[in-house]
């Protein structure tokens, strides 16, 4: 029940790169992925910057090997999941009990929106086959089939904490001897529905976002996918490249404060972080780096910051929000930032919180503004806090 769960592989695609190596290079060199809309067609194209993956659906289909008739969400998922499995290098995968635990929040909505545009113009147009895979679970099943994973398949959709929840649910499945290997994380593509919804909440920044800045204005939306390959201790011992990072702690909590806002005192954030620490057996002082949820909205940053102030009580680790690079990728954010957290441990790097000019006056700490290399990191905390108060924290540790 308490055996360690190892991170054997990582895979990612985001606005700053189509793979792990490209993303690491962008993070170390301060190359953010935000810009004007190219793939998404919206009336807000010239007003709201987004962090899009730079490839078209046809290019993603070629890269993934999945038909471009499928949703962009599924295409992104398969690209990242394939990289994670290749990176893990598990030679006898088919002989092991393997699960695919994937998160998303938009499903195949991009295909539905395109169908609806044609249908409204002429109800004799539009192909219904393009909306068959609308729901979130269908995206997971499409990718699981493409990966050849059949033993355990599940979809998690808990807003912005979705991917983090899929990762620790996968770890629990391994710890309870239900599966041996899991590809876990999440995916989301940009859609008009999502952009319009967040814009209606008046939390979308018309400039590039500035998380944890006193003058922050809101978030930039992004897209992408991020996955970890998690394995049991027995599988880890059989690999040629022995993994040395484990998922040591995790916790999900809900403050039930509001449908979209976090509690101002950061109750949910505090419960998630303190619960993950308890699960790992670590103390706050053991954490070397926090990958902040850090969306750039007024509510999120003060709630998360207040919780960190309460929990770490004057002994603050280095921290930053990598959403300054990728935008807020919604259901994919926990997976993408878990990959970044593992990368930080592997390479001894603390990534910068870009565009931070004026520190928040109500907080006694300031996130890192520059990339810091050759840092000794043993424990990294990654936060993912979603709508409805669904808050999750993961802790990755070197062993």
pLDDT for res 115: 83
- Tell me: the pLDDT tens digits for 166-190? 999 999 999 999 999 999 999 999 9
Task: Tell me the C-alpha distance between 210 and 324, whole Å.
Answer: 7
pLDDT for res 208: 98
Q: Specify the DSSP element, H or E, that contains 236.
A: helix 233-238
Task: Tell me the C-alpha distance between 269 and 263, whole Å.
Answer: 9
What mean pLDDT do residues 343-370 have? 98
pLDDT at 106 > cutoff 70: yes
Please give the C-alpha separations between residue 352 and each of 90, 190, 311, in angstroms, as whole numbers.
Answer: 33, 25, 22
**Contact of 218 with 297, CB cutoff 8 Å:** yes
Q: What is the mean pLDDT of the chain?
A: 95
Overall fold of domain 6-238: Peroxisomal Thiolase; Chain A, domain 1 (3.40.47)
6-238 and 245-398, same CATH topology: yes
pLDDT for res 254: 87
Q: What is the 3-state secondary structure (H, E, C) of 141-169?
A: HHHHHHHCCCCEEEEECCHHHHHHHHHHH
Which residues make beta-bridge pairs with 260? Answer: none
Kindly list the catalytic residues: 160, 293, 328
pLDDT at 232 > cutoff 80: yes
Question: Quick one: 7 exposed, middle or buried, by C-beta within 10 A (0-12, 13-18, 19+)?
Answer: buried
pLDDT for res 260: 66
What mean pLDDT do residues 336-352 have? 98
pLDDT at 369 > cutoff 80: yes
- The first and second tokens of residue 252, run together, are 């999900």
pLDDT tier, 242 (very low <50, low <70, confident <90, very high otherwise): very high
pLDDT for res 130: 72
pTM, whole model, 2 decimals?
A: 0.96
pLDDT for res 129: 74
Please give the C-alpha separations between residue 162 and each of 10, 208, 392, in angstroms, as whole numbers.
Answer: 17, 24, 9
pLDDT tier, 1 (very low <50, low <70, confident <90, very high otherwise): low
More confidently predicted of 260 and 305 = 305
- Tell me: the pLDDT tens digits for 202-218? 999 999 999 999 999 99
- Tell me: the pLDDT tens digits for 108-156? 998 888 888 878 888 887 777 778 888 899 999 999 999 999 999 999 9
Task: Tell me the C-alpha distance between 114 and 126, whole Å.
Answer: 8
The ranges assigned to domains in the chain are 6-238, 245-398
What mean pLDDT do residues 338-347 have? 98
The CATH superfamily holding the domain 245-398 is: Thiolase/Chalcone synthase (3.40.47.10)
pLDDT at 65 > cutoff 70: yes
pLDDT > 90 fraction of the chain, expressed in percent and rounded: 86
Say which range, 63-67, 253-257, 298-302, 368-372, has the weakest mean pLDDT.
Answer: 253-257
pLDDT tier, 264 (very low <50, low <70, confident <90, very high otherwise): confident
């Amino acid at each position: 029940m308490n055996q360690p769960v190892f991170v054997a592989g990582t895979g990612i695609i985001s606005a700053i790169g189509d793979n792990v190596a490209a993303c690491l290079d962008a993070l170390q060199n301060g190359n953010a992925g935000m810009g004007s809309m190219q793939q998404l067609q919206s009336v807000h194209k010239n007003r709201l910057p987004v962090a899009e993956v730079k490839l078209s659906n046809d290019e993603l289909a070629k890269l993934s090997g999945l038909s471009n008739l499928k949703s962009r969400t599924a295409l992104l998922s398969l690209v990242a999941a394939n990289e994670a499995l290749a990176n893990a290098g598990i030679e006898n995968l088919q002989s092991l009990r393997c699960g695919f635990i994937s998160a998303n929040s938009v499903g195949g909505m991009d295909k539905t929106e395109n169908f609806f545009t044609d249908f409204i113009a002429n109800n004799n147009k539009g192909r219904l086959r393009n909306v068959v895979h609308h729901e979130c679970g269908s995206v997971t099943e499409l990718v699981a089939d493409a990966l050849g994973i059949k033993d355990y398949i599940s979809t998690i959709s808990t807003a912005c904490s979705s991917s983090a929840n899929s990762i620790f649910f996968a770890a629990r499945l391994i710890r309870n001897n239900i599966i041996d290997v899991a590809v876990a994380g999440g995916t989301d593509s940009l859609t008009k529905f999502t952009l319009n919804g967040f814009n209606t909440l008046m939390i979308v920044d018309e400039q590039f976002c500035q998380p944890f800045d006193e003058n922050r204005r809101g978030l930039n939306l992004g897209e992408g996918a991020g996955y970890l390959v998690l394995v049991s201790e027995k599988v880890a011992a059989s690999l040629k490249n022995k993994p040395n990072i484990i998922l040591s702690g995790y916790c999900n909590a809900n403050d039930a404060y509001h449908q979209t806002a976090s509690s101002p005192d950061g109750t949910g954030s505090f419960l998630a972080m303190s619960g993950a620490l308890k699960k790992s057996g670590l103390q706050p002082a053991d954490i070397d780096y926090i990958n902040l949820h850090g969306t750039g909205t007024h509510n999120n940053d003060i709630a998360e910051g207040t919780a960190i102030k309460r929990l770490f009580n004057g002994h603050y680790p280095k921290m930053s929000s990598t959403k300054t690079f990728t935008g807020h990728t919604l259901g994919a954010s926990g997976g993408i930032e878990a990959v970044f957290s593992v990368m930080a441990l592997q390479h001894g790097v603390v990534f910068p919180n870009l565009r931070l000019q004026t520190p928040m006056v109500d907080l006694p700490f300031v996130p890192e503004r520059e990339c810091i290399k050759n840092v000794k990191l043993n424990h990294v905390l990654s936060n993912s806090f979603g709508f409805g108060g669904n808050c999750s924290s993961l802790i990755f540790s070197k062993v």
